[in-house]
Amino acid sequence: MKKLTYLAAAIATLAAPAAFAQSSVTLYGLLDAGVAYVNHSSGSSLVKFSSGNTYGSRWGLKGSEDLGGGLKTVFQLENGFSLASGALGQGGREFGRKAIVGLSDDSYGTVTLGRQYDPIVDVVQPLTEDAYFGGTFGTPGDVDNYDNSVRVSNSIKYVSPLFNGLQAEALIGLGGVAGGAANGQTLGLGLGYAQGPIALAAGYYRADGGTTTAAGVRTYTSSSDSIFSTAINQGFASAKTVQIARLGGTYAFGNALVGLSYSNVAYKPDGLSDFTRTAKFNVGGAFFNYHVNPALLLGLGYNYTKASGPASANYNQFNLGADYALSKRTSLYALAAYQKANGSTLNASGATVAATAVVGDYGVNSGASNQALAIVGIRHRF
């Protein structure tokens, strides 16, 4: 009998941590694909299979462990990929969309470490049309990270508890350069407020481009991903710093939602840059959404972008969107956009050229002063 008593006590001791350390792990994902038509793609028409039109295709794992007293461990691993080919996204990273671990406390907030979004993406992006219809509604070339093109590696982020609708965030991305703490460093701040039909947010982001050079010109090396991916801003890829300030707000009434946003972007040069004056982009956006019924959402958007400094250009963009929910997890969608570019900018070699259109964050350089596109697709969550 004593042996049985000792055995029961040992089993109870081994099982004790499970009694208070409750944990959970969730597998989730999103698949988004369709067919797109673009009237100008390097001067020609383009019809293509298109992945991630409203939201990037992904799968991930997230979870938590209850440590007691309101404290818990949190983690998230998220992989991005192309549904067209199965190729990894975000530069071929296994978990390029997100990879974090941290601690969360009900009273004191959450600290996470790893590769993650900056505070502007967390607090301002949900108040833009990107949250409903994706990057084709975004800023030309995504010059202000409207569509979450940038993640921050080697980063530490703090998110405060929610207090009367108010929440604050702060982030630092470590450059990891010996003898130069600021080289490649990223800083971010964000503040969001939501109460009743009103939501407001503001944020600031600053990334250092590092000191890596090729032929005496900086090649962007930072804890933040590069934002210089299209003809809109590729002439400024040798910038010393990228600074973005963003404001956004929405107001809901009945079945409708209206939103306004503003961004100020500055790409600042130094002696390793191949441009000499700060390039500035001022961006204003507005949208209107209407739920015709619980299944059908219609959206209308407008974006005006003004470039100054080495560039002297402006971009007018108009968007339409429709999303029809077949179920809670599956939707059909249709998107259309038109953009007109005027003025001049710098190309990747630093030469002054005529500004060309690039609709939102779709990423297809037109080679022309205007671009139109239309997309139909399907999206499924699991």
Q: Is the pLDDT of residue 169 over 80?
A: yes
Q: Quick one: pLDDT at residue 78? A: 98
CATH number for the domain harbouring residue 272: 2.40.160.10
Please tell me the distance from the alpha carbon of residue 191 to that of residue 131, in angstroms, as a whole number. Answer: 18
Q: Quick one: pLDDT at residue 150? A: 95
Q: Quick one: pLDDT at residue 1? A: 43
Please tell me the distance from the alpha carbon of residue 2 to that of residue 150, in angstroms, as a whole number. Answer: 63
50 pLDDT band, cuts 50/70/90, is very high
Asked whether the beta carbons of 23 and 65 are under 8 A apart, the reply is yes
Residue 157, in any domain of the structure:
yes
Averaged pLDDT for residues 111-128: 97
Residue 23, in any domain of the structure:
no
Please tell me the distance from the alpha carbon of residue 243 to that of residue 241, in angstroms, as a whole number. Answer: 6
Name the pTM for this structure: 0.90
41 strand-pairing partners: 44
Residue 30, in any domain of the structure:
no
Q: Quick one: pLDDT at residue 43? A: 83
Averaged pLDDT for residues 338-347: 97
Residue 29, in any domain of the structure:
no
**Gyration radius of the chain over CA positions:** 23
Please tell me the distance from the alpha carbon of residue 197 to that of residue 342, in angstroms, as a whole number. Answer: 37
Residue 288: CB atoms within 10 Å: 14
Please tell me the distance from the alpha carbon of residue 299 to that of residue 362, in angstroms, as a whole number. Answer: 18
Residue 10, in any domain of the structure:
no
Q: Quick one: pLDDT at residue 21? A: 60
Question: Three-class SS of residue 268?
Answer: strand
Token pair listed for 34: 């369709």
DSSP string, 199-213: EEEEEEEEEE--S-E
Residue 298: CB atoms within 10 Å: 15
Q: Quick one: pLDDT at residue 215? A: 92
Q: For residue 330, what is the enclosing H or E element?
A: strand 330-346
195 strand-pairing partners: 198
Q: What is each CA distance from 275 to 245, 280, 339, 347, 358, in whole angstroms?
A: 22, 13, 26, 11, 22
Residue 319, in any domain of the structure:
yes
Place of tokens 């609709």: 359
Within 8 A by CB and 6+ apart from 142, the residues are 135, 149, 227, 229, 230, 360, 361
Q: Quick one: pLDDT at residue 120? A: 96
Nearest to 216 by CA among 238, 184, 241: 238
26 strand-pairing partners: 62
Q: Which domain holds residue 245?
A: 39-381
Residue 20, in any domain of the structure:
no
Written as one letter, the residue type at 187 is L
Residue 15, in any domain of the structure:
no
Q: Is the pLDDT of residue 17 over 90?
A: no
Domain count, the chain: 1
Within 8 A by CB and 6+ apart from 333, the residues are 34, 53, 54, 133, 321, 322, 323, 324, 375, 376, 377, 378, 379
